[in-house]
Amino acid sequence: MIKQTKVIKYDLEASEFNWDIAPNKTIKAWGFNDQVPGPLLKANVGDTLVVRVTNNLKEPTMIHWHGLRVPASMDGTGVAQKPIESGEVFEYRFVVPDAGSFWYHSHSNETVQCERGMYGALIVEDKADPVTDGEKVFMIDDMKLDADNKFTKPGWFVPRIIERHDGREGSTLLINGKENSEIGIHDGQTERWRFINSSSARYFVLSLGGKEFKIIGTDGGLLEHPRIATEVLITPGERIDIAAGPFNEGEIIPIESLGYNRSTYLTAKRQKFATVKVLEKKPSVAFIPETLRTIKPLVKQDANITRKVKLSVGPSLKDGMDFLVNDDVHVNDKPVKVGELQIWEVSNTSLMDHPFHLHGFFFQVIEENGKAPEYLAWKDTVNLTPRSRIKIAWMPDNRPGTWMYHCHILEHHAAGMMANFEVIDGNKPYNDMIHTHDHHC
Ligand code: C2O
Ligand code: CU
């Protein structure tokens, strides 16, 4: 059978606009095509996406395709491309090789641009996806607004160091850019709900009022087997796909986040983001098989470590605290070679959580605090609890260039918890390529 792939074109215009997050609650958002989130981009595995980005903001921007295995030059970071200046156009072009729930977001001045709404979902479908009665994408976010619905600026020393320490969390809770939205699902039906945590720093513990759901996928697509759960943690940057339903007509079910204590000044509390209303009964064609796909383990748990990455914090006179990778800020890490399997020990010696994100490549967690994880998954973002240690395995396929990893709490990333590194073609000598610091100021 010949696989038909297509070239799919999208236009995104970044600008500032008024956005209603609720009736009579309007913010000055920054985003794409006058909406928060930006347009939902869709493709099938193997398609080529061409996304023309016009920057009509007053400052430069770049778009990162979170989770997509794109060429290095399309990764949308300061080491991969020149920023798209105000008034300029840049065309991203890449093939989407994997099915799953991905997203795009600004990778320039992120603590401001992402907070204001510069993100959207990118869904890649495949014939092997399970059949459901419908599908919804939920982008989780929160905003920190003052009484006039303006974005607060932590100008003073104490609020500034607290926001740097905790990451920016706000009390305006959004799903797809709206407060308190109502979501419908029909009695008897099962839908695929794709949750994407696009917030700056919120730890979202998904709960549907205590009802059971099936976790069917995460960052890099489907799991091997559905997992029945009543709650699941989704840290900033992570994705979780669930099969939701069937429910009964008339039921009212909250989409909420349970409290998660990540040892900050913030208090962990249960909060409602939206409400699901169960509508009249409809027939169902949904079928969630017991085996969704197979995932081959990259290595055994006891494989030798090839690199250590330590996340920690240290005092800073100017800013209260610095966020460190291997005891330094904004690091240039050693190169890796195409085709050489990577086994990284990532440790967190600090007393707070950090979601570790690797650009451009999926990894498997092969060990968590000395134990094998309960199940296999392809990940690009994984949470490290305080004083924890994991082992991840990943393969640098043939996409040489400059890549990065960082904490996906945007304030921690900006405060130094990031590193660039080269993926080099093993056949060419590595002659100390020139590194550029990616400062994200
Ligand atoms: Cu979604 Cu560099 O991040
Ligand atoms: Cu962090």
- Over residues 406-412, the mean pLDDT reads 97
pLDDT band at 438 (very low <50, low <70, confident <90, very high): very low
Residue 202, pLDDT above cutoff 70:
yes
Residue 77 has which token pair?
A: 């970071």
Q: Which atom of ligand 1 is nearest to the CA of 107?
A: 2
pLDDT for residue 69 is more than 50 = yes
Residue 433 has pLDDT above 60, yes or no: no
pLDDT tens, position by position, 244-297: 999 999 999 999 999 998 866 777 789 999 999 999 999 999 999 999 999 999
For residues 405 and 419, the answer to whether their CB atoms sit within 8 Å is yes
Is pLDDT at 147 greater than 60 in this prediction?
yes
Q: Spell 36-49 as b/e; 16+ CB within 10 A means b.
A: bbbbebbbbbbbeb
- Average pLDDT on 390-395 reads 98
Average pLDDT for 155-179? 87
- pLDDT at position 262, please? 83
Rounded to the nearest angstrom, the distance between the alpha carbon of 285 and the centre of ligand 2 is 42
Please state, rounded to an integer, the average pLDDT across all residues of the chain. 94
Which of residues 215 and 440 earns the better pLDDT score?
215
- Of ligand 1's listed atoms, the one at least distance from the Cα of 105 is 1
Burial (CB count <10 Å: 0-12, 13-18, 19+), residue 113: buried
**Is the predicted pLDDT of residue 86 greater than 90, yes or no?**
yes
What's the full length of the chain, in residues? 441
Q: How far is CA 299 from the centre of its chain?
A: 25
Look at residue 400 in the predicted model and tell me its pLDDT: 96
CA distance 405 to 423: 12
pTM above 0.85, yes or no: yes
- pLDDT for 154: 73
What pLDDT does residue 431 have?
Answer: 47
Kindly state the DSSP code that residue 72 receives in the 8-state scheme.
G
Which residues sit with their C-beta closer than 6 Å to ligand 1? 64, 66, 105, 107, 237, 357, 359, 406, 408
Is the pLDDT higher at 433 or at 389?
389
For 385, phi then psi, to 5°, come to -75, 165
Q: How far apart are CA 205 and CA 235, in angstroms?
A: 8
Which ligand places an atom closest to the C-alpha of 236?
A: 1
Q: Please say if the pLDDT value at position 436 is more than 50.
A: no
Residue 1 has pLDDT above 60, yes or no: no
- Predicted pLDDT at 432: 42
Residue ID of nearest Cα to ligand 1 atom 3: 66
The number of the ligand 1 atom at minimal distance from the alpha carbon of 103 is 1
Q: Say how far apart CA 43 and CA 299 lie, in whole Å.
A: 31
- What pLDDT, in 10s, does the model give residues 330-357? 999 999 999 999 999 999 999 999 999 9
250: tokens are 């008339």
Residue 186: is its pLDDT beyond 50? yes
CA 53: distance to chain centroid? 20
Q: Please tell me the distance from the alpha carbon of residue 192 to that of residue 393, in angstroms, as a whole number.
A: 29
Q: How far away, in angstroms, is 52 Cα from ligand 2 center? A: 31
- Kind and range of the H or E element at 410? helix 410-414
**Closest residue by CA, ligand 1 atom 1:** 66
